[in-house]
Chains A and B, each alone.
Chain A
Amino acid sequence: MVKTKNIVAALGVVAGIGSAALPLTTFADVTNPQNNTQVIRATVENIFELSVIPNVTLTKTDISQTLAVNKDNENTDLEHVVEVKGNAYSGYTLTMGSNNAYDSLRYVADSSEEFGTAARYNDDVNIPASTSVQHGTSSWAYRTSTTPASDQTASIKGDYSSASWTKVKANSATADTLLSQASSVHAAFDDKVYVNFGIATSETQPAGVYEGEVIYTATASF
């Protein structure tokens, strides 16, 4: 009798934990299950999300917002984590390019002027876009990876000179495709790409702040 009571008590504890683990909203109404068929129709909305998270990799103890670079030190710290997800039946395409007519990093001559306006910049001394990031040569470029730069080995992260860099394109050119999913896949997607930027300067590059703007564009595929 005592043993039976103990078993019942133990089962009560187990049942209590089990029912508490269920989300309360899943309890179904089963009051009239017989001969009562109902058609349930739902429309799943087609949604699409693009997220861009800038991430300065923690190779420096001070995470300054402006990437410091000089003739002796290139900078490959900035990385954008770009994610596309959704249930667009037709797949998608993600592209990236400059958000203006300039593919270079523009020298900020007057920081009191609004970002992107002509009065803010002196375009005679820009850092040009390039297909390489070489020590002693003013250039900037980007490379993509499926893993974050912070997870990569030092040799990959630091070996900017022989890495495969891509030139940022001005908005007058066809933007580069970073990710895509074919329409034949017909599945929900959640894809991520890491876009790492590299900047180098020559000895004669004037000191100061240089700015650029890239835009990530996601559209469903035809």
Chain B
Amino acid sequence: MLKRHQKLSLFGLLICSFFAFWGTNSVFAEEKTGIHLQMAPSIQDMELDPGAVYENNFTIANNGSSTLEYKININPYSVNDIDYAPIYSVKNAYTQITDWITIESGQEEGTLEPNHSEIINYTITVPDDVPGGGQYAVIFAEAKDTSNGDSIQDAARIGLIVSARVSGDTRISGEIKDIKAPKFLLNPPVSASAVFTNNGNIDMSARMSLKIENYFSGQVIYDGTSDPVEKKLLPNTERELSVSWNNVPRLGVLRATLVTELPEANDANTKVYTIIVCPIWFIAIIALIFIAIIFRIVSGKNENRHTRNNSKNNQGSSEKFNIQG
């Protein structure tokens, strides 16, 4: 007959054994309907030489529960206007790479079983006579869920951006303009914006940062210089960048330092300016005080005038009395 402590020990051992087996065998597969398409990587940067041939690859995966039919397409990559919304259908001088990319034969389309992946190989054949500069394309993996019989079918495509620099006559040129930095704020945040222009033929970085100090004490209360806003500028495009800081004191005087840079073009601009933060209720109080002071002054003048008139009248009466007397 086991004693009590022996029973407890045995019980503990059983518990341990149970969890050991249960922990290794319990795999719960979650049903994932619809399209779940994964791609790795999402951007490939490369240096190309005219006349050379390059091979590369990427991986697509089906993370869903349904078999996917996929096809690979190569589209030009450009952007729309200053807000940089991507466009995948407009060809220009910087999207010629679209025609240089070839997907390995037999891999242009296929089927992906659930939880399976495929390595897609592609070749870039650079013509001999291409000019130097940036070239941009996107390789899409497009999939449809053929089991979906809805009236509105859905397809999904995920893109790999191919960003290349062709050696040769490359030109780096840009400018920073339209810097906007409000100096009077009723409410947070403190924000600033600028437009960056790339006049060259290769992509470059645009960078922007903001630092905020107390105007009187010089104490730094926000320093964004260690983590600036940084984005790429494609050739022959303009892009607006902005920075902001929300934790602004409701009332105060601040000194802001706004730095805008185009590092590759050796162009930078530092703007130091004063910001007055003044909420509307404070302005209302100041206005009321000002009105009260004005009213007090005006009413004080009227009172003095009234008093002087009264004393003149009294003096006139006494003189009359004297004359009469």
Contact residues of A with B, CB < 8 Å? 2, 5-6, 8-10, 12-17, 19-21, 23-24, 45-54, 56, 65-67, 78, 80-81, 86, 88, 90, 92-93, 95, 99, 105, 115, 171-172, 174, 177, 182-184, 186, 197, 199, 209-222
Check A21/B19 contact, CB under 8 A, given A49-B63, A52-B156, A54-B34: yes
Do the beta carbons of A88 and B155 come within 8 Å of each other? no
Do the beta carbons of A47 and B151 come within 8 Å of each other? no
A67 to B12, CA, bound (A): 58
Do the beta carbons of A6 and B38 come within 8 Å of each other? no
Do the beta carbons of B18 and A20 come within 8 Å of each other? yes
Do the beta carbons of B150 and A65 come within 8 Å of each other? yes
Do the beta carbons of B156 and A216 come within 8 Å of each other? yes
| B154 contacts the other chain (CB 8 A) | yes
The 9 A-B residue pairs with the shortest CB-CB distance in the complex, in nearest-first order: A20-B19, A53-B34, A13-B12, A16-B16, A9-B8, A65-B149, A5-B5, A220-B42, A219-B159
Do the beta carbons of A174 and B15 come within 8 Å of each other? no
Chain A proximity of B272: nearest CB distance (Å): 22
Contact digits for B42-86, partner A, Cβ 8 Å, 1 yes 0 no: 110000000000000000000110000000000001011000111
Do the beta carbons of A214 and B35 come within 8 Å of each other? no
Do the beta carbons of B155 and A213 come within 8 Å of each other? yes
Do the beta carbons of B33 and A174 come within 8 Å of each other? no
Contact digits for B157-184, partner A, Cβ 8 Å, 1 yes 0 no: 1110101000000000000000000000
Check A16/B13 contact, CB under 8 A, given A50-B158, A88-B43, A219-B86: yes
Which residues 116-155 of B sit at the A interface, judged by CB distance below 8 A? 138, 140, 142, 145, 148-155
Which residues 226-285 of B sit at the A interface, judged by CB distance below 8 A? 227-232, 234
Apart from the given pairs A78-B151, A216-B154, 20 other A-B contacts in the complex at a CB distance below 8 Å: A6-B4, A9-B12, A17-B12, A21-B19, A48-B41, A50-B158, A52-B35, A52-B155, A53-B33, A78-B152, A80-B154, A182-B231, A197-B152, A214-B152, A214-B154, A217-B140, A219-B158, A220-B159, A220-B161, A221-B231
Do the beta carbons of B151 and A17 come within 8 Å of each other? no
Do the beta carbons of A8 and B37 come within 8 Å of each other? no
**Nearest-neighbor residue (CB-CB) of B230 within chain A:** A184
Chain B proximity of A76: nearest CB distance (Å): 12
In the assembled complex, which residues on chain B have CB atoms less than 8 Å from the CB atom of A209? 151
Which residues 1-48 of B sit at the A interface, judged by CB distance below 8 A? 4-6, 8-9, 11-13, 15-16, 18-20, 23-24, 32-43
Q: List 24 A-B contacts (CB under 8 A).
A: A8-B9, A9-B4, A9-B8, A12-B13, A13-B8, A13-B9, A14-B12, A46-B42, A47-B38, A47-B39, A47-B42, A50-B35, A66-B150, A86-B42, A88-B43, A99-B153, A105-B152, A174-B85, A186-B227, A210-B151, A214-B152, A216-B157, A217-B156, A222-B231
In the assembled complex, which residues on chain B have CB atoms less than 8 Å from the CB atom of A46? 40-43
